[in-house]
Amino acid sequence: MELALKTLPKPFAMLKSRVMKEKAVEQDPLIFEMNEVRQKIQGCQNQFDASDDDDLIDSYIFELESLQARYRYLIKQAKKKNLCCEVASQMRLERMERQWDR
């Protein structure tokens, strides 16, 4: 019985550590900027899809390429900070949420 009581706090400590790490990742300015760029990419893709003017389509193509280059840069920075796993899991969750909304 005493042994069981001594081992109980360890899982709670691990859970608390994981929650604290996730909060720190969510508050990271890099993650915030990645989310902003992702939203801009989605908005630009929507405008591209809705456009029928050749000049606007060209401008959306260049804007998308620019945003995608920025996003690639941010991913490299996230990998350097070891945030890549958290970012990938966050992106998977967002994709799943979008699929459920359909």
pLDDT at 20: 47
pLDDT at 92: 61
Question: Does residue 5 have a pLDDT over 50?
Answer: no
C-alpha 98/C-alpha 92 separation (Å) is 10
C-alpha 68/C-alpha 11 separation (Å) is 40
pLDDT at 19: 45
Q: How many residues does the chain have?
A: 102
Provide the whole-model pTM: 0.60
pLDDT at 49: 95
CB contact at 8 A, 75 and 31: no
CB contact at 8 A, 44 and 64: yes
pLDDT at 73: 93
CB contact at 8 A, 45 and 63: no
> pLDDT (tens digit, 9 = 90+) per residue, 34-73?
999 999 999 999 999 999 999 999 999 999 999 999 999 9
Supply the angle between the helices 54-80 and 29-50 in degrees, to the nearest 10: 160
Question: Does residue 95 have a pLDDT over 50?
Answer: yes
pLDDT at 10: 57
Question: Does residue 81 have a pLDDT over 80?
Answer: yes
